[in-house]
Chains A and B, each alone.
Chain A
């Protein structure tokens, strides 16, 4: 008994010292010793080594309410000598713009700043929700200080944000402060629009008809698809009737109005509007005719402009599309088979299914009440605790159970965790899934103090012209492609300074009959046949409002230049072709590159003041212009301008 007592006492004593000893041998010490070895090799010798104390380091960021001890092991993050060192010693690539003293690590990277062991710091651990973010999702943190519209500086986050609203996620998921918008077309009297067999096929697999569609895949059973089809189109339809019109003339109309700018046909064309290659197997001709006359009446939010088609043009165009573009891969008997399947449907079940799957998240549907978002709210999804996420039937080891991993997998396969979930599959690629996940992770309640706020990127523009000009802009949907004062697309030239850029005579002619300034583009200015009164409205708005002082103030300087002098023109020609090699990117009389606009008729198109300002600095107006910035001496500037504006022969295309 006595011996046992002594042995036990010794054991306790041993345990006591072992515990104390353990405290002196912290897990980070081995890293610090390795770092010291590295320093002995790379560093400046003894004094530096002697000045390196072992022990924990921490960075108390009062403003951010964080304490980061990461530098205890990540010792080289601010030292450029360790650029190629192995982790944990490698230099931080962005230490200049985000210095460690003011930002720390965890505010961007996540993880547990206070921890001093690899597992606890990087996570995931039991009692710390935020593990270190994978580099693919890291841009989620940019929005914390830089705001939501980070733009080019955080491309993944920007893409994710764009996708979130473009794919209509907001239709089913609430995000506070963001307006709900239905991205799909309204469904009203759809029996008059599409064929029953098409709708059935579409519901079963949208990508079968339109590979690039945003409509997700609900993986419906045949019976479900039949029920919904029958609910949406209760009345029977006649067989496929032909549109009355001339197919041959319709083809000409299609080319003349340059429909291919927005719609692909036979694999070629833009992607602003849907691919029309199989349109004849989808639509009913009378609906198409109505649509061509005025699309805005049917779908106010469409991007399609109102064309000034004559009645005959519209009829021929409809006949051309319906007659020539049917789905050739569709087996003969499938139409009949689909119709038989639909006939077995149940209207009441169809309505239940439409409500269950939340079709009203994207579509306005006649006869179905919209009860608001039916998915879970995402306002703070970035803060969610892992225990609240259901992994369902998928066994995932603890070290992989993180919020980002869950979201990423949910984006890739929305029904991975459970079969009977409602969320449909968008068939996102890995990159797309990463982008959306990054945006979702950025939705947090976390706030940083004011001194950290530094909004980047373009702020959303509130440009919204009223009056006659606004109406014309709306009618022709100019802002789908063109941009004015930060609002609109980037496909076509920015018109914010159009009044200062082009000559009036040119503009009037161009609006009547747009010709090609950039020869290689598929997306060319469409033919709108704008009536004279509307052209006048556009012209006067351009002249009075869309002007830029930097250009207008050059009027005096330009008057002093000898732009008509044949010798100046000759000198300019030499500069253009020999010294600066401008022909690398610009064409004159079909000679030269096709990156920039054709300059054969630049003198008819551009105002001299604009040319001078552009030559001074092309980035004044377009930050994304690929034109190099030169610093021309004044004399060369004058000569170049003279040459550019001079008539250079060449026939104006009819």
Chain B
């Protein structure tokens, strides 16, 4: 069979014109377009948790919540459920002025050796037998995130 030379480009051009103007059916009046857009929005990506916290602070937060928050409170507001049973109220870790006077090394030592060893309240127990130096460093890192820097 012989193909006539004109028969090829004519439908081709017609098709291209159709596609270009969008009459080809795909562009107009697509049912459920709104729905599709809504669904596209509903497809979400996982979001990072606490991107602001360092890895050390994140690890420290778990330990803080388990051992410290009972008195010092989850957010360091000195409002843990046991805070009101203490003779000396627990340190408020959100107090930026007070926390500003303590160096990391001091905080580390209080956690490790307890309040009694440093002339503070003996009701703050020594955690050196429970937490390793590394753990304590993590807890210290987390405590440092609790206080909002003092306003000047």
Chain A contact residues, CB within 8 Å of chain B: 93, 134-137, 393-396, 400, 404-405, 408-409, 412-413, 416, 430, 434, 520, 578-581, 583-585, 587, 592-595, 617, 619, 626, 628-631
A594–B127 touching, CB < 8 Å: no
A-B pairs, 7 with minimum CB distance: A629-B129, A584-B123, A581-B123, A581-B122, A628-B125, A593-B85, A136-B46
B85–A628 touching, CB < 8 Å: no
B45 within 8 A of A: yes
Which residues in B have their C-beta under 8 angstroms from that of A393? Answer: 32, 35-36, 39
What are 15 A-B interface contacts by the 8 Å CB criterion? A93-B55, A136-B46, A394-B42, A405-B45, A416-B42, A430-B46, A578-B122, A580-B122, A581-B125, A584-B82, A585-B82, A592-B85, A595-B71, A626-B70, A628-B125
Q: Which chain A residue has the least Cβ–Cβ distance from B127?
A: A628
User: What is the predominant secondary structure among interface residues of chain B facing chain A?
Assistant: loop
Cα–Cα distance between A234 and B80 once the two chains are bound (Å): 54
- Partner among B48, B70, B124 whose Cβ is within 8 Å of the Cβ of A581: B124
Cα–Cα distance between A18 and B121 once the two chains are bound (Å): 74
B42–A619 touching, CB < 8 Å: no
B125–A580 touching, CB < 8 Å: yes
Q: Which chain B residue has the least Cβ–Cβ distance from A412?
A: B44
B86–A594 touching, CB < 8 Å: no
B39–A394 touching, CB < 8 Å: yes
Q: Which chain B residue has the least Cβ–Cβ distance from A93?
A: B55
Cα–Cα distance between A581 and B127 once the two chains are bound (Å): 14
Which residues in A have their C-beta under 8 angstroms from that of B48? Answer: 135-136
B101 within 8 A of A: no
- Partner among B44, B66, B71, B130 whose Cβ is within 8 Å of the Cβ of A409: B44
Q: Which chain A residue has the least Cβ–Cβ distance from B84?
A: A593
A579–B130 touching, CB < 8 Å: no
Q: A416-B43, A594-B82, A630-B129 are in contact. Are A395 and B124 (CB under 8 A)?
A: no
B43–A581 touching, CB < 8 Å: no
Cα–Cα distance between A583 and B71 once the two chains are bound (Å): 13
Which residues in B have their C-beta under 8 angstroms from that of A408? Answer: 44, 46
Q: Which chain B residue has the least Cβ–Cβ distance from A152?
A: B62
B26 within 8 A of A: no
Cα–Cα distance between A268 and B36 once the two chains are bound (Å): 43
Min Cβ gap B20→A in Å is 23
Cα–Cα distance between A416 and B44 once the two chains are bound (Å): 11
Interface residues of B in 110-136 (CB under 8 A from A): 114-116, 121-127, 129-130
Which residues in A have their C-beta under 8 angstroms from that of B129? Answer: 617, 628-631
What 0/1 readout, one digit per residue, does chain B (135-151) give for beta carbons within 8 Å of chain A? Answer: 00000000000000000
Min Cβ gap A389→B in Å is 12
Chain B contact residues, CB within 8 Å of chain A: 32, 35-36, 39-40, 42-49, 55, 66-67, 70-71, 81-82, 85-87, 114-116, 121-127, 129-130
Which residues in A have their C-beta under 8 angstroms from that of B67? Answer: 626
Min Cβ gap B66→A in Å is 7
Min Cβ gap B72→A in Å is 12
Min Cβ gap B108→A in Å is 16
- 6 more CB-based (< 8 A) A-B contacts, given A520-B81, A580-B125, A593-B86: A136-B49, A393-B32, A581-B125, A584-B85, A593-B82, A594-B82
Which residues in B have their C-beta under 8 angstroms from that of A412? Answer: 44
Most chain B beta-carbon neighbours within 10 Å: one of A404, A578, A626: A626
Which residues in A have their C-beta under 8 angstroms from that of B39? Answer: 393-394, 416
- Partner among B43, B87, B116 whose Cβ is within 8 Å of the Cβ of A580: B116
B85–A581 touching, CB < 8 Å: no
A626–B116 touching, CB < 8 Å: no
Which residues in B have their C-beta under 8 angstroms from that of A578? Answer: 122
Min Cβ gap A585→B in Å is 7
B122–A594 touching, CB < 8 Å: no
A400–B43 touching, CB < 8 Å: yes
A394–B43 touching, CB < 8 Å: yes
B55–A579 touching, CB < 8 Å: no
Which residues in A have their C-beta under 8 angstroms from that of B36? Answer: 393-395
- Partner among A395, A583, A592 whose Cβ is within 8 Å of the Cβ of B40: A395
Min Cβ gap B104→A in Å is 15
A629–B130 touching, CB < 8 Å: yes
- Partner among A579, A587, A619 whose Cβ is within 8 Å of the Cβ of B116: A579
Q: Which chain A residue has the least Cβ–Cβ distance from B122?
A: A581
Q: Which chain B residue has the least Cβ–Cβ distance from A619?
A: B130
Q: Which chain B residue has the least Cβ–Cβ distance from A592?
A: B85
Cα–Cα distance between A628 and B128 once the two chains are bound (Å): 8
Cα–Cα distance between A520 and B80 once the two chains are bound (Å): 13
B82–A394 touching, CB < 8 Å: no
Q: A579-B122, A584-B125 are in contact. Are A434 and B32 (CB under 8 A)?
A: no
Min Cβ gap B61→A in Å is 12
Which residues in B have their C-beta under 8 angstroms from that of A579? Answer: 116, 122
Which residues in B have their C-beta under 8 angstroms from that of A629? Answer: 129-130
B45–A400 touching, CB < 8 Å: yes
Q: Which chain A residue has the least Cβ–Cβ distance from B90?
A: A584
Min Cβ gap A247→B in Å is 34
Min Cβ gap B130→A in Å is 5
Which residues in A have their C-beta under 8 angstroms from that of B45? Answer: 134, 400, 405
Which residues in A have their C-beta under 8 angstroms from that of B46? Answer: 134, 136-137, 404-405, 408, 430, 434
Min Cβ gap B47→A in Å is 7
Which residues in A have their C-beta under 8 angstroms from that of B125? Answer: 580-581, 584, 628, 630
Cα–Cα distance between A595 and B71 once the two chains are bound (Å): 9
Which residues in A have their C-beta under 8 angstroms from that of B43? Answer: 394, 396, 400, 405, 409, 416
A413–B42 touching, CB < 8 Å: yes
Cα–Cα distance between A363 and B42 once the two chains are bound (Å): 31
Q: Which chain A residue has the least Cβ–Cβ distance from B115?
A: A581
Q: Which chain B residue has the least Cβ–Cβ distance from A577?
A: B122
Cα–Cα distance between A631 and B125 once the two chains are bound (Å): 12
Which residues in A have their C-beta under 8 angstroms from that of B49? Answer: 136
Most chain B beta-carbon neighbours within 10 Å: one of A134, A396, A400, A585: A585
Q: Which chain B residue has the least Cβ–Cβ distance from A587?
A: B85
Which residues in A have their C-beta under 8 angstroms from that of B124? Answer: 581, 584
Which residues in B have their C-beta under 8 angstroms from that of A430? Answer: 46-47
Q: Which chain B residue has the least Cβ–Cβ distance from A96?
A: B134
B81–A581 touching, CB < 8 Å: no
Q: Which chain A residue has the least Cβ–Cβ distance from B49?
A: A136
Which residues in B have their C-beta under 8 angstroms from that of A396? Answer: 40, 43
Q: Which chain A residue has the least Cβ–Cβ distance from B40?
A: A395
A581–B35 touching, CB < 8 Å: no
Min Cβ gap B118→A in Å is 13
Cα–Cα distance between A520 and B46 once the two chains are bound (Å): 38
Cα–Cα distance between A413 and B41 once the two chains are bound (Å): 12
Cα–Cα distance between A396 and B37 once the two chains are bound (Å): 11
Which residues in B have their C-beta under 8 angstroms from that of A630? Answer: 125-126, 129
Cα–Cα distance between A412 and B67 once the two chains are bound (Å): 33
Cα–Cα distance between A136 and B82 once the two chains are bound (Å): 33
A626–B35 touching, CB < 8 Å: no
Which residues in B have their C-beta under 8 angstroms from that of A134? Answer: 45-46
Q: Which chain A residue has the least Cβ–Cβ distance from B56?
A: A93
Which residues in A have their C-beta under 8 angstroms from that of B126? Answer: 628, 630
Cα–Cα distance between A400 and B45 once the two chains are bound (Å): 8
